[in-house]
Chain A
């Protein structure tokens, strides 16, 4: 039987199942195959905070969405074209996101009376016409997998566990994905359990062959490789890119990296990743709590290391006092905040942008801290290097904002040449800087940057004491002098305000847009995709994205004031809008949704169009 092959320019697939069904692994492998094939792609893992919620229930559903295309894309996609539902809960939890006409591949074996009842289905939706508006492919995934593994020396239960690889095989056939790397991956992953390795590979191949032979699938699809900029590519998640960026910051500055960290979702993977790179001289310290994590990082910075601490919002709260100490002692420090939905514990695995004002103001006293925000998963690499540059050059703590969406999402990344990365000069103090040639003044500043000298223990002649008490200008001795405090408060502020950051760039293809859509952080992808849609439909919109939130680029006010309307979508209740209104007296139009999910491009396109239409 020769099957029809249909060409598509892009596809959005969502794998959904129980948290124990291995959906994240299945998604990761499909992503790797897709990256190898050469499509552009973007992913969105979405999983519960519970490691294993009760099986078969709605709270236990874990999903992985992948968008891939023959052209460059910016988001993991709004609505899936294909849903793989491993059980009734996965179907019920995801059906609402599915446009009519989309394909649904269901594992019929799991549609038992008991499982249906768990999620409130009175009758199986496969047996009535409630799914008539979708194209349903009923596949007994579990029993087909068990059948394929007949003869393997394993229990039925173990055989059933390979059903996600059967599904992966079927989808790999359906979209013409290369399979060799997945087979190699399974061999390596289960190297110590050869029977399990063979069983998973057999299930994977059985899934492929099933697609080839069954009549349930009459068409397979081809999505041609994307024409991306020439270069060497890899797929990378935000957390991995951020960890690599920190290693690069260490290499490019010559400073040994010291990470003090306490495990917290969704930041822990940065700790995991960095702990694997001790060959770069990286010291990772899993501290007793968030406060000790940042404290140890600051202590290491006092000793001349690149001190880093990684956390999420609840950890930032606890670290605030130590960040203030870094502000006043003027030591380099990087605090990575992988934001998640709050307040309090909130929704640990869901994304949000609501820590901006805490990053700006969440400390006692006048305590300015530079803020850098990454825009995409791969941009986390460059943002980490930029945070390093600012911290080291200006002797200041820097807050680097990522979020759950960037942290776990992934995209192809054109790997930069190491020679093209910036070189960062620590410029340690080596000799006394007093007029007498003998005295060392730890707070005598560089007139250009206002940075103070960084004199590390072990340097003879520069012994000095620093601390949290206000210091006298120049000498750094304890001072309660009113005028001196005013001077020091202003000096610390001027230093941060004067940080050299690149101008805000505006993307306006025709140059005559009257509406600007502005964003920061992880909203870059959805905003850019929305702007494209609006332009394709004939609308005119300019787009700009802020990487530096503090200080803002020098031309920010000028850019904002040169448009009739400025639209600012944020996954918070208008935090950057508040800052921009206060600073520039610009009547920014906010668009806010705080659902723990990224914006959808279609949604934002509508909002942009509405603003244009209201002109």
Chain B
């Protein structure tokens, strides 16, 4: 296997089946126990109805999660699943994916799990580029511990642990992932099943680590956090659709380069079509993707949605397998020879 044959083929080594699969095949027998109205239900249904189209053998699919509301997800998928410990899912999935290239490995995590306690594992997974799909459910709050602010909560968030407002600046998960030079970075939203599934499709077929931020509503502790993006009156103006090769626009706004080399959002009618930035998700330089990730400041006036970056570079598991093949080119190791290596002497 060489890098050229696997690039763009995240599932190339995963065995396929001709048997027809439906959403029902991917539902486990466990009762789903999220709060009524939680955005997680929509994401679960979107994933369960999407995965059959991949045509993979169900037993070669694994969902690994950390801790938090979203991390219950694997229990509801009728695949192999591992509900692990807080923040560590990327590390556990790394060992699994690195040693089993025949598996399609998905990490389910949340904003606290991935960006707070597990931040270190996330950035290293992204830089290593192991063949994983990381779905980061971002609801900008701690749900399972009952409502403390999270590392993506806006400054000044009033919660149980911050009665006078939170003080620390939040992470922008897309900026963080692009900064870690992730090879695939995307954002989607729980309420838009079609868009969510189109992003999952691209993530699954990308060879390497795919990070998908999913805006997810917590209707108990942070309801309507993404309401502007769902409101039929506002959403088409706010949402900047990222589609490779297409101009980056919403219904009323457009993105163009500033003379200083940055990006700005302007009234769409005020600029000629030729000045609107055309999205290039495959550009090797991450700086435009990073600039795009900053456009949602100040909060949610305009929000890019879609694949920010999708570039090809060798995945860690693939390079590791190649080193093993190279080391075994002259034959597999012989234990007797290993033990007798170096200086030996005989007595008797």
| A residues neighboring B (CB under 8 Å) | 32, 35-36, 38, 181, 225, 227-235, 244, 247-248, 251, 256, 258, 260, 277-281, 283, 285, 287-289, 291-292, 295-305, 307, 321-322, 324-325, 329, 415-416, 418, 457-469, 477-478
Contacts and interface: CB of A to CB of B under 8 A. Distances in A.
A300 B99 contact: yes
Contacts of A244: 338-339
Contacts of A467: 65, 74-75, 81-84
A281 B347 contact: no
A295 B91 contact: yes
Interface string B82-112: 1111001001111111111011000000000
A460 B57 contact: yes
Nearest to B80: A457
B94 A299 contact: yes
Contacts of A295: 84, 88, 91-92, 94-95, 121
Contacts of B220: none
Interface string B2-20: 0000000000000100000
B1 interface: no
A70 B62 CA distance: 59
B346 A279 contact: no
26 contacts: A38-B345, A234-B340, A279-B330, A281-B333, A288-B124, A289-B120, A291-B91, A292-B121, A292-B124, A295-B88, A299-B99, A301-B95, A302-B82, A304-B100, A305-B99, A322-B85, A457-B61, A457-B80, A457-B96, A458-B102, A458-B103, A463-B79, A465-B82, A466-B83, A467-B75, A468-B84
Interface residues of B, number: 61
Given A288-B124, A457-B62, A463-B78, A280 B95 contact: no
Interface in B322-348: 323-324, 326-328, 330-333, 335-336, 338-340, 342-348
Contacts of A322: 85, 88
A491 to B, nearest CB: 20
A466 B82 CA distance: 5
A325 B98 CA distance: 20
Given A463-B78, A463-B79, A465-B83, A303 B345 contact: no
B82 to A, nearest CB: 6
Given A277-B333, A457-B62, A469 B83 contact: yes
A482 B264 CA distance: 59
Interface string B154-195: 000000000000000000000000000000000000000000
B60 A297 contact: no
B64 interface: yes
B91 A278 contact: no
B227 interface: no
A564 B324 CA distance: 57
A329 B81 CA distance: 12
Nearest to A236: B342
Interface string B271-313: 0000000000000000000000000000000000000000000
B234 interface: no
Given A325-B84, A415-B339, A283 B94 contact: no
B120 A461 contact: no
Contacts of B57: 458, 460
B59 interface: yes
Nearest to A455: B80
Contacts of B28: 465
By Cβ-Cβ distance, the 7 closest A-B pairs, closest first, are: A230-B348, A467-B83, A296-B95, A295-B91, A299-B95, A278-B327, A465-B81
Provide the main secondary structure of the chain B interface: mixed
Contacts of A292: 88, 91, 94, 120-121, 124
B120 A288 contact: yes
Contacts of A304: 100
B44 to A, nearest CB: 14
B95 A247 contact: no
Contacts of B266: none
Contacts of B15: 458
B342 A256 contact: no
B140 interface: no
A299 B344 contact: no
A464 B79 CA distance: 6
B92 A229 contact: no
Given A291-B91, A300-B99, A466-B83, A32 B344 contact: no
Contacts of B345: 35-36, 38, 232-234
Nearest to B336: A418
Contacts of A468: 67, 83-85
Given A258-B95, A279-B328, 5 more contacts: A278-B324, A287-B94, A299-B92, A458-B57, A465-B74
Contacts of A280: 332-333, 335, 338
Contacts of B82: 299, 302, 329, 465-467
Given A457-B100, A465-B74, A296 B91 contact: yes
B327 A416 contact: no
A252 to B, nearest CB: 8
A36 B83 contact: no
Interface of B: 15, 28, 30, 57-62, 64-65, 67, 74-75, 77-85, 88, 91-100, 102-103, 120-121, 124, 320, 323-324, 326-328, 330-333, 335-336, 338-340, 342-348
B344 A232 contact: yes
A256 B84 contact: no
A233 B333 contact: no
B84 A416 contact: no
A35 B82 CA distance: 50
Contact of B328 (A38, A278, A302, A416): A278
A287 B316 CA distance: 12
A304 to B, nearest CB: 8
Contacts of B332: 279-281
A261 B323 CA distance: 18
A280 to B, nearest CB: 4
Contact of A233 (B79, B336, B346): B346
Contacts of B339: 234, 244, 248, 415-416, 418
* Residue among B61, B78, B103, B333 with the highest chain A CB neighbour number at 10 A: B333
Contacts of A289: 120
Contacts of A463: 58-59, 78-80
Contacts of A416: 339
Nearest to B76: A465
A297 B95 contact: yes
B95 A285 contact: yes
Most chain B CB neighbours (cut-off 10 Å) among A298, A300, A304, A458: A458
A277 to B, nearest CB: 6
Given A285-B94, A296-B94, A467-B84, A277 B328 contact: no
A296 B98 contact: yes
A36 B343 contact: yes
A296 B316 CA distance: 13
Given A258-B99, A299-B95, A231 B333 contact: no
Contacts of A464: 80-81
A32 B98 CA distance: 38
Contacts of A232: 340, 344-346
Contacts of A279: 327-328, 330-333
Contact of B343 (A35, A251, A302): A35
B320 A283 contact: yes
Contacts of B95: 258, 260, 285, 295-301, 303, 305, 307
A231 B74 contact: no
Nearest to A235: B343
A569 B88 CA distance: 40
A477 B97 CA distance: 25
Contact of A300 (B64, B98, B336): B98
Contacts of A298: 92, 95
Contacts of A235: 342-343
Given A279-B328, A292-B94, A247 B333 contact: yes
A285 B98 contact: yes
Contacts of B91: 260, 287-288, 291-292, 295-296, 299
